[in-house]
Chains A and B, each alone.
Chain A
Amino acid sequence: MSGVASAAGGKTLAGYNFAYLDEQTKRMIRSAILTAVAIPGHQIPFGSREMPLPYGWGTGGIQVTASIIGADDTLKVIDQGADDTTNAVSIRRFFSKTAGVRTTESTREATIIQTRHRIPEAPLAEGQILVYQVPIPEPLRWLEPREVETRKMHALSEYGPMHVQLYEQIATFGRIAATYDYPVMVHGRYLMRPSPIPKFDNPKMDRNPALQLFGAGREKRIYAVPPYTSVKSLDFDDHPFSVESWEHCCGLCGAGASYLDEIVIDDKGGRMFVCSDTDFCTQRQAQGFRGPLNSEAAE
C-alpha cells in the first residue's frame, strides 16, 4: 500500500491520485476492510464514492482494489472467467492508467485478482487477494425487505429463512435449484452471499489460502473471508449440497473438472463446451493438453 510514493513515479494519469481515489477515501475503505476481515462474513457499511464507471460495472470491487493496490502489485481482472470482455478490459485499463501497475492474465502471477462471477480454476496461494464485485450483498433480502430486521437476524443468527428458500425450491423442483449466488455460512457464524459465482466455485471459497474481499458499490457494503476460513454451503441432510458436473470435457484443453460454458461454433447449430476460465484453458493447451475438438489446432 505504497500509493502516494508510487504516484510520484510519473507513470500514472496526470491530475489523479494513485489508483484514482484520494488517500482519505482509501483509508476509510481500508478501515472497513480491516473490520470485515476481523468479522468474517459480516457486512460492513462504507461511504461508497462515485466512480468513473456506471454501477453494475463493479464499482464496489474497483473501490476495494483501488484501496489495497500498490505500485508493485500485479493485477488480473476477470469477467465470467474471461480476461478479454469489455468490462474486464475497462477495469484493467483503468488501473493501468491510474496506478501504472502491471497487469496479467495469469492467475498464478497476479497478486490481486478482481472478479465478476467466477473464482479461477487454478488454486490460489497465500498472499494473493481475490476481490469480488457484488451486486446485492444481503442474503436475507428476498424475504425481509427491512434493513433493521435483517441486521437483527444476523445479530441473533436467525438464519432459518434461508433454509425456507431452499425448502421452497425442493418443493417446487424436487431439488435445490439455486445454481449461483448460493448462500454460505462463514466461520460457522455469518450467512453470506458469495456474489453471483456458480455454486461450482463455492467449495473453492472454503479454507482458501488467499484473502477474499467483497465490495458492493451501490449498496455500500464490504465483507471478507480471511485466509483458511471455513465456508459451508447451506443444504438439508437429505438434500446435500453438490456442484454442477458435465458429461463433456473441455473441447479445447480436455479438462474434465473445470466449469464449462456452452458456445455455438457455427451457423448449423454446432456447439462445444469450453472452460469458462480462459487463462486456465490457455495454460493447459500451452502444456500440450488437447480436447476432442482441438485436434486440428494441435497439428
Chain B
Amino acid sequence: MPRPKTDAARPDAGSILKEARKLLAPRLAEPSRRTFLGSLTLGGVAMLSGCSLNDGDQVERALAAISRFNDRVQGWIFDPDALAPTYPAAMITRPFPFNAFYGIDEAPAVDEAGYALEVSGLVADKRGWRLGELRALPQVEQITRHICVEGWSAIGRWGGVRFSDFLKRVGADTGAGYIGFKCADDYYTSIDMATALHPQTLLALTYDGRVLPREYGFPMKLRMPTKLGYKNPKHIRALFVTNSNPGGYWEDQGYNWFGGS
C-alpha cells in the first residue's frame, strides 16, 4: 500500500537528514495526490474550454496519453552509448541527501543473512543471489549526478555490478521490453531494456566505498545516471524480465514512466 510521503523525521536522525532538510526544506510536507484535477488552479481547465469538473477526467486522460507519447519519444531519443558526466571525488555532495516516500527512520532494515535477490521472468537461470555472490562478480564504480524529479540534484559515488553483466550472467532475454523491480519497502518500478543495458547502469552494492547503507538502499539499489531518482529502486528484493510494462509506485500515480535524463 502506498504510504503518504512524509519526509519530516525526528530530530535525532543525524546529519544526512539535516542536509536533506536544507536541500529539500521548502518541499517538506508535500502531499502526493492521485487525483490532482480536483485541486487544479489557475482556472487552467476552465480556460481550455470553459468546462465543468466532469471534463476533468477527459483532461486527465489526455495528459496521461501525452505522457505515454513522451515515453515513446524518450525511448527514441535515448542513445545507448551516450554517457552521463562523471565527477571528481571532491564534487560529491556530502552528506548525500536521503529521499523516499517515508522518513529516514522508516527505511527498511534488510537482514543480510536471510537475503537472496530473486530473479524471475524471461531469464534462463532463476536461482536467487546472495550478497556474497554478487560481491564476487567484477565490480565497477562511478561518481555521477543523481537528478530528482523535483529539480534538485546531488553528486554521489556508487559501486557494484554492471547491470548488463548481471543480465548476461542470468541469461536474461535482452530482447524483452522491461525489467521490473520489487523492493523491501513495497516500492516498485520498472525500466526499459535499453537503459538496463546501458554501461553506466549499476546494481549498486556500495556507496562511497562502504557497503550501501540502509538509508541509501541496502542491500542494493539500481543506479542509473540516465534516469530520474524515482526510477532508481532501492532495497531491491526481486527483479523480473517481462514484455508487459509493470508500471511503478509513482508512475502509476502520474509520474512519467520513462523518466529519463
Chain B associates with chain A: no
- A binding-site residues for B, Cβ under 8 Å: none
- B binding-site residues for A, Cβ under 8 Å: none
